[in-house]
Amino acid sequence: MSQRPPATAPRAAAALLALALISLLSACTQVRYVAQASLGQLSMAWRAEPLKDAASDARRPWRTRALLREVPHIKRFGERHGLTPTGNYRTYVELDRPAAVWVVSACEPLRFRSKTWSFPIVGTVPYLGWFDLDDARAFAAPLKAAGWDVDVRPAGAYSTLGWLEDPVLSTMIDDGDEALGELANVVLHESLHATLYLKGQTRLNESLANFVGNELAKVYLDERVGPSSVEKTSYLRGQERSEARVRALHAAYVELNRLYSSPAPDAEKRAEKQAVLARLAAKIGARRPLNNAALVQFRVYNSGAPELSALLATCGGSWPRFLGALRQLEDHRFSAPQENIGKVVEPLIQAGCR
């Protein structure tokens, strides 16, 4: 497995340098973040190898090679359903860590109001991804010291929104029978970001990508391995577990939001908050501490599903028509950085998917 940089590395470096210069000109405080992002991305480019070579390398497990061979099929499937063709996922990177990036988010302790950061291209975002866990923790430490609820979570994939050629990462491949469905989900999710991205509207962008990945992966499995396959059954079981977790997180969010809006003293709110979070952690088997930052991030990825489902139905189940209707939002004047998704999608439903 060669460590030689691919032919695209110089172009990637130039693009990253341009993005870094734009960011440096806009805010000097972004230097540290942009520097680590640039170095992390260049490291990916250096370690990448052509997907075809990785999929035929006998030194890798047969299962991994079989899943890598599925990626071109998943991409073509997504394009048939309206996702924009890109140069993504033509290379593979074997990572020596359990996550692609670690995502840091912060939220006020007695109100669901996220800390945000702003960049010229993506707009305002409620999280930052770090390629190194120690860097993520170092960034999180002063936020915690300042009184924010802070969450540091691992992510197995990320998107450069079509600006660079994203590789398939080893962290995108699960161990169980659900692996094909989850790989399809991730590729389709990230491909949605390269198809439609609304500057500053992270909740809509991520919830839409989550919806598209979740639902289109089911269709892909039906076409590729059949509706009664082990892969489809295992994927659906995983989705059911995820949905149960989402329901529990939503219930806790509603309960805490009501508590924070009450006239109770702050000390009482803090005590009740810890009790609610302790019950939630026990119920979902949380692997890391739960706080407001974790709960508000769950909403970033899990909002608006009923409205998006209704829009898809209005579009006759056609994903290209569905995405075409949503592209109208590119000209929408949003009243808030994280506007309610239902409020934004409902007019598209009323218009009849035009």
Give the residue carrying structure tokens 């161990």.
175
Copy the structure tokens of residue 174: 């699960």
Task: With CA atoms as reference, report the closest residue to 236 among 247, 222, 223, 250.
Answer: 222
Which residues in 3-119 belong to E strands, given as ranges?
49-50, 91-93, 101-107, 117-119
Copy the structure tokens of residue 71: 């990626």
Say what the pTM is.
0.86
For the chain of 354 residues, list the mean pLDDT of each consecutive stretch of 10. 32 37 44 80 88 95 96 97 94 93 95 87 82 93 97 88 84 93 95 89 90 97 97 96 93 96 97 98 94 91 92 96 94 72 90 85
Copy the structure tokens of residue 88: 């993504």
Spatial separation of the C-alpha atoms in residues 38 and 15, rounded to whole Å: 10
Burial (0-12, 13-18, 19+ Cβ within 10 Å), 266:
exposed
Give the residue carrying structure tokens 């540290």.
32
Instruction: Provide the CA 13 distance to its chain's centre, in angstroms.
Output: 24
Domain residue spans of the chain = 9-301, 305-350
Quick one: pLDDT at residue 121?
Answer: 67
Spatial separation of the C-alpha atoms in residues 224 and 188, rounded to whole Å: 15
Copy the structure tokens of residue 193: 């970001």
CB 353 within 8 A of CB 322: yes
Task: With CA atoms as reference, report the closest residue to 44 among 102, 3, 105.
Answer: 3
Quick one: pLDDT at residue 338?
Answer: 58
